[in-house]
Amino acid sequence: MISGAFGLASGGGPNWIGTCALYACLGLGVGGNLPVDGALFLEFLPFASGNLLTMLSVWWPVGNLVSSLLAWAFIPNFTCSEEGPCRKEDNMGWRYLVITLGAITFVMFLCRFFLFHLYESPKFLLSRGRQDEAVAAVHGIAYKNRKKTWLTVEILNEIGGYPEQTSTPQNLNNKEIVERYMSKFSLERIRGLFVTKKLGITTVILWFCWATIGMGYPLFNAFLPQYLQRAGGGEPQATSIVYRNYAITSIVGLPGSILACWTVDIKYIGRKGTMMTATMITGVLIFCFTASTDPDIQLLCSSLENFFQNIMYGVLYAYTPEVFPAPSRGTGSGICSCLNRIAGLCAPLVAIYSGTANPDAPIYASGGLMLAAFVAMIFLPIETRGRQTL
């Protein structure tokens, strides 16, 4: 809802400061949604269908494809010419693009909350001692799938023990209500990510990978239209050609997530092998992008890079919630996403200041960060292929 509402509002940004503020609110909605989706989806999946979490990431390149096609339609046709003054009514392309994407997102919100009921994770409810709600969620899911379940609260309590009896204080004032909710944000949630040495090492490595990829990804992809525009080393490419090539890059990247869904369950490859290989190739292809100024070669490199990058992100997106135990899954995935966003905020600064000295410097930095993430992945001690998530 937040992403859709502020996406619509961003299209009417009155000035630079106002538009940036609206984009910040839009980003707040996106950042809060991504880590929760993966964790929640995983906890509803049966063990034999764990690779579907990787398939879920196919919507990422689909979104990129839709965005690039819309940009190709709007920006070349509704953008100021390079000569003469640029009036607002002559530069509506980016506004049309943002409003359209915001409308699509808001429609998705309406579908998600009004067309079907989304149940809370039974694993999460059990970890909080909310046995009655967990059983109700299981029965609701079984009913939706036209199945029957033998699970009752009594059976669950006999198997797993009775939850601690807790009372809900009544007649709290505003200060006490705030203090009660703030008390839930404790270091105990983070300690759950370090309960064993192996899990602690995995947590630190994943934080590093999410941060490095979070900076490396936008250093190349966020500025890809500019890189494609200067391809050829002479006159800048026409805007229509730039966004056509950008759309081609998005189309080629689409099968990456589908291929990853198959390779993550192959013996001796698994999640780690797929993720490491894709990350290494992504870094190498980013460097190859700078090896030639020929537009066709740069288009080939960027397209292949997008293909392997979608494999990398798809598996990383699935592996992260799989490796954390259910009580700490939301915390671990949320911190990874937070580090990813913080590092991504630094990418424009790196691109601006390094690009003044060498136009290819941001691309070199992006490739180096991807290869650094690849090296870190080698030391991940946990392979989740064939393992039941906790």
Please name which of 124, 32, 57, 28 lies closest in space to residue 310, comparing C-alpha atoms.
57
Half-sphere exposure of 353 (CA within 13 A, CB side): 4
pLDDT tens track, the chain, 390 positions: 888 888 889 888 888 898 889 888 888 887 777 667 766 776 776 665 666 777 777 787 888 888 888 988 898 888 887 777 777 777 888 899 999 999 998 998 888 788 877 777 777 777 677 788 888 888 888 888 788 888 777 777 766 666 654 444 555 566 665 565 555 556 667 787 888 899 999 999 999 999 999 999 999 988 888 888 887 666 778 888 888 888 899 889 888 888 888 888 888 888 899 999 999 999 999 999 988 888 889 999 999 999 999 999 888 988 888 888 877 887 888 889 889 989 988 888 888 888 777 888 999 999 999 999 999 999 999 887 766 555
* The pLDDT value given to residue 100: 93
Residue 184 main-chain phi, psi, to 5 deg? -75, -20
**Cα distance between residue 123 and residue 134, in whole Å:** 7
**Cα distance between residue 322 and residue 329, in whole Å:** 8
Q: Are 296 and 154 in contact (CB under 8 A)?
A: no
Which runs of E-coded beta strand occur in the chain?
Answer: none
Residue with tokens 């500019």: 226
Calculated CA dihedral for residues 306, 311, 316, 317, nearest 10 degrees = 80
User: Which tokens sit at 269?
Assistant: 């490859």
**Cα distance between residue 61 and residue 275, in whole Å:** 17
Eight-class DSSP state of 233: S
Which residues, including other chains, have CB under 8 Å from residue 244's CB and lie 6 or more apart? 72
**Cα distance between residue 100 and residue 253, in whole Å:** 23
User: Which tokens sit at 5?
Assistant: 């509402």
Please name which of 31, 28, 57 lies closest in space to residue 42, comparing C-alpha atoms.
57
Q: Are 22 and 9 in contact (CB under 8 A)?
A: yes
Report the predicted TM-score, pTM, of the whole model to 2 decimal places: 0.76
